[in-house]
Amino acid sequence: MATNEGRTSFAINHRLLLCCLFSLAFIGTTYYYIDNRKQAYEIQWIVISIAWYSAICFSITKVLYKARIGYLLAGIVSWATLAFLILDNYDVVFQTTITTKQDDIITIRNLILAGIVSLGILSSHNAFHKFNHVQNKAKFT
């Protein structure tokens, strides 16, 4: 590992981000299998889910081709997902709900997803900023 790249290389951040994005999409589908809240099937949540999955698919495609917009969009999707998870788990801390009441399984799933999303935020940030270094290095070799 090159010392001028920092603690993690572009390749490690790239792979970690792809793993996080695929995990995000997979775990996100569990909302419709283990979530017993009827609000998940309302039209506004379906539209939000379609937009969320579209953004994930688009960023996976762009990250696979190592386009900088993919890393940027992955970061935006990760931050938006983290914000939603915080709102969804609001009732755990404050005993009042913003979205809807949930059971313990959904809370645990949200906490696991928050950990994956946090890794996605870090890896997308690092990959986005290391992109110039890798691109410049490729020009001179």
The tally of domains found in the chain comes to: 1
The verdict on residue 4 lying in a domain is: no
Contact 113, 21 (CB under 8 A): no
Average pLDDT, the chain: 83
User: Is 133 in contact with 10 (CB distance < 8 Å)?
Assistant: yes
Which structural domain range is residue 77 located in? 9-136
Rounded to whole angstroms, how far apart are CA atoms 81 and 83?
Answer: 5
Report the C-alpha dihedral over residues 29, 45, 75, 98, rounded to 10 degrees.
-110
Phi-psi region of 6 (alpha: psi -120 to 50; beta: other; left: phi over 0): left
28 is a domain residue? yes
Per-residue pLDDT tens for 65-80? 999 999 999 999 999 9
- Residue 17 within any structural domain of the chain: yes
Domain contains 1: no
Instruction: Identify whether 19 is part of a domain.
Output: yes
Asked whether residue 118 is domain-assigned, the answer is: yes
Q: Is residue 3 part of a domain?
A: no
pTM value is 0.80
Pair 126, 61: CB distance under 8 Å:
no
Tell me the pLDDT tens digit for each residue of 9-67: 889 999 999 999 999 999 888 777 776 777 777 898 889 889 999 999 999 999 999 99
The Cα–Cα gap between 134 and 8 comes to 13
